[in-house]
Amino acid sequence: MSLFDQTQAVENHFAKSNPNYLESMFGRTDLAPLWIADMEFKIAAPISEELKRLVDRGVYSYEFIEKDVVQAISDWNLKRHQLQLDTSSFLQVPGVLTGISILVRELSQERDAVLVQTPVYHQFFKLIKSANRTVVENPLKIQDGKYFIDFEDLEQKFKSEKVKLMILCNPHNPVGRVWTKEEMIQLNHLANQYGVTIISDEIHSDIIFSTSKFNSIASVDTLQKHIAVIGSPAKTFGMHSISNGYLYVPNEDVRQQLKSIIGGMYLDHGNILSAYGTIAAYTKGEEWLNELLGYLEQSNQWIKEFVSNELPAVTLFQPEGTYQIWLDFSALKLSDEILQHLVVDKAKLALTPGNWFGEQHGQFMRMNIASPLATLQDAFYRLKKAIDERDQLTELKKEASKGCCSC
């Protein structure tokens, strides 16, 4: 039995299974929580041991070890991704979304255009809009069952919308693409040509399956002018609620500008549990991560076979990275509302509705697969039963169409 087969019966108020959250998001609480992108697995033993060591010390005097943290991140990237990162180009922030929000606010003006590639992680919309910037979409295109960047549309939007910033998601949440070197070169070239700064969210950069290789935008950046990378150990090591974020900004002027605002607000102080936990993760967590990736690949394989044999009307986008899978239900020919009813009320699953990632994705759902395989299997059996029995949804269909005609 694998470490990752074990369910964790610990007392908690985890957001994904919190009845109040489930009730407000899905209207009921008896659901398998496969929506929020975190892990149900216990973190690597060396990280736990390090956290215990700090708790046992019992003294929490101010302690700043950012240099050691950055060294650990840099060494990890060199070993894991053959990516050379200059330790003097990092800035510490409380989290990835905080980091991106600071970048958006510092590197653009109100009403400036910020481009995202839909479908995309829904928090990007919120952080752009709450900074009073304008969202410009460069929809990804599907070819032969795989998502690609539409470079023609991208260039056109860079020009016509006077795009100032682009938030890249690499690997891409929710479609699971790990962008190739060629794609990153082409993107970087266009960004340089049109003076667009790429904010590259690389939080999922270590969840890469064996058929792919991670290519940071930093690995193809020639000008060192128009990129800012942000990452953290959160997704890699399941440290979601205990990690800081790390900005990597090669351009000296831009980095100094950011440093003064981040330092001026004392957002770089960090938390010593996160700091030592991060060092432990990157220096002693590799074996655990390799096991995790093997486990996730097996789960992916099981899901792929199940969907192709048992759910012919569902299209699965096989992820190259991330522990999210993206499912297309459009062949069922149900309305968005009925589909949601099928998944939530019949299959009793809390999946992330596709329209969170872009309005036109109501026929899609994202499922988080960082759970024991048995949990995922149970979810898919329930999904199959609900789909097989979908004729019983006719009553609701009639209700829905009644509502529609009267409007």
Ligand X SMILES: Cc1ncc(COP(=O)(O)O)c(C=O)c1O
User: What x-and-dash track marks residues 21-40 binding ligand X by CB under 6 A?
Assistant: ----------------x---
User: What x-and-dash track marks residues 215-254 binding ligand X by CB under 6 A?
Assistant: -----------------x-x----------x---------
281 binds ligand X (CB under 6 A): no
Residue closer to ligand X by CB (options 72, 203) is: 203
Residue closer to ligand X by CB (options 101, 315) is: 101
Query: What one-letter code names the amino acid at 368?
Result: N
121 binds ligand X (CB under 6 A): yes
Residue closer to ligand X by CB (options 92, 341) is: 92
Cis peptide before 372 (omega within 30 of 0): no
Residue closer to ligand X by CB (options 174, 342) is: 174
Residue closer to ligand X by CB (options 4, 121) is: 121
Of the listed pieces 89-97, 140-148, 182-190, 355-363, which binds ligand X according to CB under 6 A? 89-97
Of the listed pieces 13-21, 95-103, 106-114, 260-268, which binds ligand X according to CB under 6 A? 95-103
Residue closer to ligand X by CB (options 81, 366) is: 366
Shortest CB 103 distance to ligand X, Å: 13
Of the listed pieces 91-99, 247-255, 281-289, 351-359, which binds ligand X according to CB under 6 A? 91-99
203 binds ligand X (CB under 6 A): yes
Of the listed pieces 71-79, 94-102, 148-156, 388-396, which binds ligand X according to CB under 6 A? 94-102
Q: Which of residues 158-177 bind ligand X (CB under 6 A)?
A: 169, 173
Contact at 8 Å (CB) between 324 and 173?
yes
Of the listed pieces 92-100, 145-153, 297-305, 378-386, which binds ligand X according to CB under 6 A? 92-100
Residues that bind ligand X (CB under 6 A): 37, 95-97, 121, 169, 173, 201, 203, 232, 234, 245
